[in-house]
Amino acid sequence: MEARLLGALLGVVVVQVEMAVLNLDLQKIAGFWREVGVASNQTLTLKTPKRLEALFLTLSGDALNVKAAYSHSGSCETENIVGSEIDVSGRFVFSGRREIHVIDTDYERYAILRLTLRWQDKEFHVLKYFTRSLEDEYEPGFWRFRELTADTGLYLVARHGRCARLLKEVSLRPVHSESPLRPRHELI
């Protein structure tokens, strides 16, 4: 009984957060984002050997272009994926049965995203906390992230990584520069 009541209350919180970001300004969400926190009730989503460190978002019409930097076995890899905005502003669908929903952001310092992954006929949800900064983690968004994930069960704070630093440097350079990041593959 208590579990159902708690689930219902959490559902109300998520709905309220989603309604608050309904008018997401896509131009303001673009740019560099470093992953700082991850929360999920699925250990599989937290124990991956390939760790996301940062994203660089750009827009092309209603398409969201995501360049992701991963740390994998001591090296940095990138992946380029393109998502399409669907029924609600701030919700994007990607190939590979993935969906990203921006549930809270102040655009300048933090963003909280909910990722939905569909695998073997099951849905997995992961909440992720991102900052614009390479250094600061405990911004006001971090405490908002902790509120939203207090009952999630598993929680992980990302390590500072060189892949995030490289993605930021490379993404802000003119197009003609060579990239020290190794592209894994591109899905366009």
The DSSP-derived string for 83-106 is: EEE-SSTTEEEETTTEEEEEEEE-
CATH number of the CATH domain containing 144:
2.40.128.20
- Whether 93 and 83 have beta carbons less than 8 Å apart is answered as yes
CA dist., res. 132 & res. 91, Å (int):
20
Total domains in the chain come to 1
Does 174 score more than 70 pLDDT? no
Question: What pLDDT is stored for residue 63 in this prediction?
Answer: 84
Could you list the residue range(s) of the whole structural domain that residue 21 is in?
2-187
Question: What pLDDT is stored for residue 153 in this prediction?
Answer: 67
Q: For the segment 109-139, what is each residue's pLDDT rounded down to a tens digit?
A: 999 999 998 878 888 888 999 999 888 766 7
